[in-house]
Amino acid sequence: MKLQGSLGRSSVCSGSSSRQFSSSTIVQAKPRRQKISQDPHALDKMKKFEFDDIPTAGHFLLDRKRQLLHYARLAEWEMPKLAQFKKQYIPPTNEQILRVKQIHYQGEAHPVTRKAVVTVQVSDLFKGDYLSSRDARKKFLLLAGPRWNPFEEKKDMIQQSNKRIDIFGDHAKLERKALDNGGFGVVKISCERFPNSQMNLKWCSDAVDSLIAEANKDAEAVKDVPLDLRHAQAQERSRANLDRKSAPTIRDFPKEWLQKSSSA
């Protein structure tokens, strides 16, 4: 008897579960039908096209024309008012050696707008009284590390001489040219860790000040340390691979390596 009762209860449960499943699908389907019937853009509610309007692409074209006309009106009536804010260009003095680069998209939000890049010409830095001695100059370049780019110079210097520095030449000669002959290249420092471009610019400026202050401290300790030019050599190797030339042939074989014939 107990066995029959358990079987009866199980059959009732299975029947109720099947009814719940069937009823739940109908309940879920009802709101969807009602939603479609209430949609004003349903196909059965669309009116017949009477060819009295332009297509969607035409409306997009008109919106583009309206936008261009809006900016044309701004250029005609609003931009002349900016003349009262103009300032005369004053070239930087010899004391203003830092060059700042920032990107701005005229109000459009972009992650790159917070980045700030500060560059300083090594020759301008060495001409001033920022570094106390030759050892301080050397320590500054050592501390700069890969941020020192020996190949980048001013535009006027590039126009005067198109010769590229032989970074694989005599290391002692390169060091004398970098420290005694006014220096060459630029030091570039960038930052984008802060949410504001002015904060990143302040960090870059403080980093340059810290490099100069640290280079003037105990500069004789790195007197015998050679300049690290591995980053510049790697840059030059990659550039040489991009400027690929034709493959060597038998004509490129050194003539002094040829053996003299026995008859001669």
Task: Encode pLDDT of 105-151 as tens digits.
Answer: 887 889 999 999 999 999 888 888 888 888 999 999 999 999 998 87
- Catalogue the E-assigned strands of 69-226: 98-102, 116-121, 148-149, 186-191
Report pTM: 0.59
pLDDT score, position 247 = 67
Among 73-77, 109-113, 162-166, name the one with the lowest average pLDDT: 162-166
Q: How do residues 180-219 score in pLDDT, each as one tens digit? A: 777 788 999 999 999 999 999 999 999 999 999 999 998 8
- Give Cα 180 distance to the centre of its chain: 34
Q: What percent of the chain has pLDDT over 90?
A: 35
Q: Work out the pLDDT band at 168, boundaries 50, 70, 90.
A: confident
The residue ranges of every structural domain in the chain are 98-241
pLDDT score, position 3 = 40
pLDDT score, position 30 = 54
Count of other CB atoms within 10 angstroms of residue 236: 18
For residues 6-13, give the mean pLDDT. Answer: 42
Distance CA 83, CA 14 (A): 85
Scored b (16 or more CB within 10 A) or e, 155-188 reads eeeeeeeeeebebeeeeeebeebbbeeebbbbbb
Distance CA 100, CA 208 (A): 12
